[in-house]
């Protein structure tokens, strides 16, 4: 019984002293180490000649079937397509950076969850990912892109959404100055 009490005390101490600052900080560190460069590199492939000039490749990545229908001439696409490609490209840069610096972290995490879901749908329906690449849960193969890797990405982002940015963040600084509510 004393061993059980000791283990319970250790876990209670860990929970009381680490869960509010260590876990959110660790989650943001994991996000930075695993996904930041991936998303920044992906966004950089979408730019044309300047900061506000998007390449035809951006349209192909986001709207592959629509681009095929118009002979890969993005000028034939609608304003809606332009808007989605523009917002998607900048979201791919801004949302990860917001999570890393801990600014509006919960909102950025929700935005990234939506981004990952849309990215996965486009990969399956637009780029034709199927079979082993899509994978399935409980199949004994933990290496599929969609149901394994991206499910873990979403879990990480859900954790960041639930726990927030932690103490080393712009959010915490803004909360101390009463600019953001304390549970933001």
How do residues 33-46 score in pLDDT, each as one tens digit? 999 999 999 999 99
Q: What percent of the chain has pLDDT over 90?
A: 82
pLDDT tens track for 91-119: 999 999 999 999 999 999 999 999 999 99
- For residue 1, what pLDDT band results from cuts at 50, 70 and 90? confident
β strands within the chain, DSSP E? none
Q: 78-87 long-range contacts, Cβ below 8 Å, gap at least 24?
A: 85/46, 85/54, 85/58, 85/59, 86/54
- pLDDT at position 28 is 97
The CA–CA distances, whole Å, from 83 to 30, 73, 78 equal 31, 16, 9
What pLDDT shows up at residue 74? 93
Domain ranges of the chain: 20-176
Do the Cβ atoms of 142 and 148 come closer than 8 Å?
A: yes
Average pLDDT over residues 9-25: 88
Query: What does the pLDDT read at residue 122?
Result: 96
Does the pTM exceed 0.85?
yes
Q: Is the pLDDT of residue 184 over 80?
A: no
Rg of the chain over Cα atoms, rounded to whole angstroms, equals 20
Question: What are the backbone angles phi and psi of residue 104, rounded to the nearest 5°?
Answer: 50, 45
- The pLDDT value recorded for residue 17 is 86
* Cα separation, 104 vs 53, whole angstroms: 27
Lowest mean pLDDT among 13-22, 63-72, 147-156: 13-22
């Amino acid at each position: 019984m004393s061993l059980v009490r000791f283990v319970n005390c250790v876990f209670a101490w860990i929970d009381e002293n680490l869960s509010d600052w260590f876990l959110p900080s660790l989650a943001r560190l994991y996000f930075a180490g695993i996904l930041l460069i991936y998303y920044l590199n992906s966004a950089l492939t979408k730019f044309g000649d300047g900061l506000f000039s998007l390449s035809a490749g951006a349209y192909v990545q986001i709207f592959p079937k629509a681009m095929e229908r118009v002979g890969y001439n993005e000028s034939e696409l609608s304003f809606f397509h332009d808007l989605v490609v523009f917002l998607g490209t900048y979201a791919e840069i801004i949302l990860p950076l917001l999570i890393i610096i801990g600014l509006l972290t919960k909102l950025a995490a929700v935005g990234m969850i939506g981004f990952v879901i849309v990215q996965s749908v486009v990969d399956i329906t637009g780029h034709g990912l199927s079979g082993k690449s899509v994978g399935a849960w409980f199949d004994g193969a933990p290496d599929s892109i969609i149901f394994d890797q991206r499910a873990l990405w979403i879990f990480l982002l859900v954790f960041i959404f639930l726990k927030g940015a932690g103490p080393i963040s712009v959010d915490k600084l803004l909360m101390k100055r009463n600019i953001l509510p304390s549970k933001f």
